[in-house]
Structure 1
Amino acid sequence: SKKLETELQALMDSNARLTDTLQEANSNAESWKSKVTQSQDENNQLRNKVKKAVVLTRNAQLSLRIQELEADLQEKEQFCMLFARFTDAADVLQAAETASRDQSEKMTLLQSEIDDSQHKQKNMKTELKKFMDVLDGKIDELHEVRQGFSKLGVDN
């Protein structure tokens, strides 16, 4: 009888320790779940910031382009006024050729800027994809840890 009581007491102590361990594991799992949710929220916030940054950058580029176009328009209006003053056809032709070359150079410059912008955007997308891949890997690792905790709870 004393031996059974001792064994019963040992089993009750073991059960209490296992219960405490299970509660701690559940608490840790909840903590990890909270951290995963927080990471996902941060990920979404970062995605939104990146999108906003891209939009702001594009808006700034477009504003600059509008200013350039307005300046071009003013130049063209001035050119038209000068054109009206010219009486000699050779002068008109020479001015038109100069304007054409200028416009061609500007077009080449703008195309270069567009190509550069597209290249930068591609690099940004690549960096964002790398970041997303790393984040996905971390989320998978957290999921595996959670499964490990869950398995510990089931095995015990």
Structure 2
Amino acid sequence: MTFTKTSQKFGQWADSRANTVFGLGFPSEQQLSKFAEKFQEVKEAAKLARERSQEKAESCSTHSHESSQEAPTSPQASSVNGTEDEKGRRSPPIESLLKSNNHRINPVKKWEQELRTLGESNARLTAALQESAGTAEHWRNRLQVCKEEGDRLRERIVELEAQSLDISKEREQNSRLSQTVRLLEAEISEKEQELERLREEVRVIPGLLEQCEGLQQQLQSAENSNAELESRSKTLKCNVEESRQKYGNLVKELTTFLGILDGKIDELHGFRQGLAKLGMDN
């Protein structure tokens, strides 16, 4: 098995026998490095133990082969030089030696089978590692795309923050304009009240005009009766003169009042136009 670092805090290895890939995540890159070093040490120790066992198996097989080559010479020599009883006495050790050699050869076969299994496992592990390397490259590319997207989002956040500052400034300006509008509306209400008072005063003017007409009629009747009442003519003339002066003063005051009222109306009209323009600009 081979331990592979797929990222700064994650590693994985494959178990070919179970056809499974295992992965471990670590809180830091140092712990991942320590685990990889220990994993490599254990792997090398297992490899060294396997090589030693293989050497022992080879030595056992070599020893068994040599013993198998030396074993037949003893029966031949005994057959030539010895008797049949000697042959019967020497045969059991040879059989026991062959049995021991067979017992020694069997582990070698097991080790050869284990080596073949390990070779197949290494091939599967290589394929799994190549696949994991491709997966890691895919995720690296994906991470790079995510980083670029994060950078774009950060830039967008900065832009939105700047826009929010502009919006807050505009809100403050709108609040100031709203206060100004409220003050202007209060002034308009005051002007409208004043205008209403002026209108009430204007409504009194027709009564005054009627009174003037009545005075004129009285003046006319007084002039008609002037001939008859010569004794009262001086008094009536004085009264008429005073009435005329009062009428003239009243007409002058009325003219002045109308001029003032026209100016107020024009001022109020201009003020309304300015307020409407200000509302449209806002």
Question: Larger Cα Rg: Structure 1 or Structure 2?
Answer: 2
- What is the Cα deviation at residue 2 of structure 1? 5.7
Query: Does residue 9 of the first structure (1) align with residue 146 of the second (2)?
Result: no
- What is the Cα deviation at residue 107 of structure 1? 0.7
Match of 1:47 among 185, 188, 191: 188
Match of 2:272 among 118, 132, 142: 132
How many pairs align? 115
- What is the Cα deviation at residue 22 of structure 1? 3.6
Q: Which moved more, 1:21-30 or 1:114-123?
A: 21-30
In structure 2, the gaps of 5 or more residues are 1-141, 202-228
- What is the Cα deviation at residue 56 of structure 1? 7.3
Equivalent runs, 1:49-128 vs 2, <5 Å: 49-53=190-194, 89-128=229-268
The CA distance in 2 between the partners of 1:14 and 1:5, in whole Å, is 14
The CA distance in 2 between the partners of 1:28 and 1:91, in whole Å, is 87
Deviation per CA, 1:43-82, whole angstroms, max 9, x where unpaired?
Answer: 12111332455577899x8xxxxxxxxxxxxxxxxxxxxx
Amino acid at match of 2:171: E
Deviation per CA, 1:5-34, whole angstroms, max 9, x where unpaired?
Answer: 442232121221133134224323432432
Change (3 A) 1:138 1:58: closer
Return the structure number with greater helix share.
Answer: 1
The CA distance in 2 between the partners of 1:17 and 1:23, in whole Å, is 10
Which structure would you say has the larger RCO, counting Cα contacts within 8 Å and 6 or more residues apart?
Answer: 1
The CA distance in 1 between the partners of 2:194 and 2:182, in whole Å, is 18
Amino acid at match of 2:174: K
Match of 1:24 among 147, 156, 165: 165
The CA distance in 2 between the partners of 1:108 and 1:136, in whole Å, is 42
Amino acid at match of 1:45: A
Match of 1:35 among 161, 176, 180: 176
Amino acid at match of 2:256: D
The CA distance in 2 between the partners of 1:114 and 1:140, in whole Å, is 39
Aligned to 2:95: none
Amino acid at match of 2:167: N
Amino acid at match of 2:155: S
TM-score (norm 1): 0.59
Identity across the alignment (%): 11
The CA distance in 2 between the partners of 1:116 and 1:22, in whole Å, is 57
The CA distance in 2 between the partners of 1:102 and 1:133, in whole Å, is 46
The CA distance in 2 between the partners of 1:128 and 1:15, in whole Å, is 50
